[in-house]
Amino acid sequence: MPSPLNKGKITLTMTKTKQIEQTRERWHLASVATDDVKALSDALGIEFLLAKILLARNIGNGDSEAVNLFLNPPEELISDYSGVTSAVELEKTVERISRAIKKREKIVVNGDPDADGISGACVLVSGLEFLGADVSYNFPVRCREGHGLQVRIIDEAKEAGATLIITTDCGSKDISAAAYAKTQGLDVIVTDHHILGKELPDVYAFVNPNMVEGDTYFKTLAGAGVSYKVMLAVFDEMGQELPQSLNEFMLAVSTLGTLSDRMSLLNPMNRVMVSKGVEAIKGTHWEGLKAIKKVCRVDDKNLRPRQLSRSIIPRLNAPGRIGDPSKGIPDSTLVVDLLLTGTGEANAAKAASLSQIFMDIVNLEKEKKNEQEKSDHEKSEMQREALSSAASVDDINEQRKFMTNKIEEEIEALVEEQVDLTKEHIVIVQGKNWNSGVIGIDTDRLKERHLRPAIIITKYDNNDYVRGSVRSIPNINMYDIVDKANDLFEAKHGCQLFKMEVMSSDGDAQLVNAFGGHAQACGFSMHYKDVPEFIELVREQEKLIAEDKWGYHYDIIAKLPISQVGPKLLSQLDKIGPYGQRFEFPTFYLQGCLLSTGTAFGNKYQEFHKPHVNFRVIENQKKQVNVAPKEFEAVGFGLWEKFCAMRSNLDPNMKFDVIFTIEQDQKRRGQQRGVNIRLNVLDIRQSGDNVDSFMEPAQSEED
pLDDT at 88: 96
Q: What is the mean pLDDT of residues 385-408?
A: 58
Question: For residue 309, which amino acid is it?
Answer: S
pLDDT at 644: 81
* Euclidean distance between CA atoms 408 and 430, whole angstroms: 12
Q: What is the mean pLDDT of residues 386-412?
A: 61
For the chain, the structural domain boundaries read 4-26+553-695, 73-241, 419-550
Question: What are the residues whose beta carbons fall under 8 Å from the beta carbon of 164, sequence distance 6 or more?
Answer: 96, 97, 100, 105, 106, 107, 108, 186, 187, 188, 189, 204
pLDDT exceeds cutoff 50 at 378? no
CATH of domain 73-241: 3.90.1640.30
Q: Within 10 A of 582 (CB to CB), how many other CB atoms are there?
A: 15
What band does 449 get if pLDDT is binned at 50, 70 and 90? confident
What are the CA-CA distances from residue 135 to residues 12, 159, 436, 456, 695 (Å)? 61, 14, 29, 37, 57
What band does 384 get if pLDDT is binned at 50, 70 and 90? low
pLDDT exceeds cutoff 60 at 377? no
Q: What is the mean pLDDT of residues 487-497?
A: 87
pLDDT exceeds cutoff 50 at 104? yes
Tell me if 170 sits within 8 A of 112, measured CB to CB.
Answer: yes
Q: List the one residue out of 662, 671, 682, 678 whose CA is nearest residue 560.
A: 662
Question: For 17-119, where are the E strands, in sequence order?
Answer: 27-29, 106-111
Range picked from 11-15, 85-89, 384-388, 466-470 for highest mean pLDDT:
85-89
What are the CA-CA distances from residue 266 to residues 65, 220, 583, 584 (Å)? 15, 9, 6, 10
* Euclidean distance between CA atoms 664 and 680, whole angstroms: 10
CATH of domain 419-550: 3.10.310.30
- Cα-flanking dihedrals φ and ψ of residue 452, to 5°? -160, 160
Tell me if 702 sits within 8 A of 5, measured CB to CB.
Answer: no
Tell me if 677 sits within 8 A of 588, measured CB to CB.
Answer: no
What band does 442 get if pLDDT is binned at 50, 70 and 90? confident
Express each pLDDT in 306-363 by its tens digit: 888 888 888 787 777 767 777 777 778 888 888 888 744 443 233 233 223 222 222 2
Express each pLDDT in 521-557 by its tens digit: 888 889 999 999 999 999 999 999 988 888 778 889 9
pLDDT exceeds cutoff 60 at 245? yes
Tell me if 99 sits within 8 A of 295, measured CB to CB.
Answer: no
Q: How many CA atoms lie within 13 A of 628 on its CB side?
A: 6
What band does 667 get if pLDDT is binned at 50, 70 and 90? low
Q: Mean pLDDT over all residues of the chain?
A: 80
- Cα-flanking dihedrals φ and ψ of residue 639, to 5°? -105, 5
Question: What are the residues whose beta carbons fall under 8 Å from the beta carbon of 137, sequence distance 6 or more?
Answer: 108, 109, 110, 111, 121, 124, 125, 333, 336
Range 4-26+553-695: architecture per CATH: Beta Barrel (2.40)
CA angle 60, 64, 69 (to 5 degrees): 65
Helix, strand, coil percentages, rounded to 5, for the chain: 45, 15, 35
pLDDT exceeds cutoff 70 at 593? yes
* pLDDT higher at 598 or 412: 598
136-140, 322-326, 328-332, 604-608: least confident range: 604-608
pTM above 0.85, yes or no: no
Question: What are the residues whose beta carbons fall under 8 Å from the beta carbon of 442, sequence distance 6 or more?
Answer: 404, 407, 408, 411, 434, 456, 469
DSSP secondary structure letters along 336-361: HHHHTTT-SSPPHHHHHHHHHHHHT-
* Euclidean distance between CA atoms 438 and 695, whole angstroms: 35
pLDDT at 600: 85
* Euclidean distance between CA atoms 668 and 283, whole angstroms: 23
| Percent above pLDDT 70 for the chain | 79
Q: List the one residue out of 66, 90, 55, 79 whose CA is nearest residue 269.
A: 79
pLDDT exceeds cutoff 50 at 564? yes
Pair type for strands 454-459 and 427-432: parallel
Tell me if 601 sits within 8 A of 610, measured CB to CB.
Answer: no
Length of the chain, please? Answer: 703
Q: List the one residue out of 500, 477, 114 whose CA is nearest residue 320.
A: 114
- Give the helix ranges, DSSP H, for 419-477: 439-450
pLDDT exceeds cutoff 80 at 460? yes
pLDDT at 243: 94
Q: What is the mean pLDDT of residues 492-514?
A: 73
pLDDT exceeds cutoff 80 at 485? yes
Q: List the one residue out of 425, 423, 353 whose CA is nearest residue 382.
A: 353
139-148, 285-294, 585-594, 667-676: least confident range: 667-676
* Euclidean distance between CA atoms 119 and 147, whole angstroms: 15
Question: For 151-224, where are the E strands, in sequence order?
Answer: 162-168, 187-191, 205-207
- Bridge partners, residue 600, by sequence: 613
**Cα(first)–Cα(last) distance of the chain, in Å?**
11
Q: How many CA atoms lie within 13 A of 552 on its CB side?
A: 19
Q: What is the mean pLDDT of residues 219-248?
A: 96
* Euclidean distance between CA atoms 327 and 391, whole angstroms: 19
pLDDT exceeds cutoff 90 at 77? yes
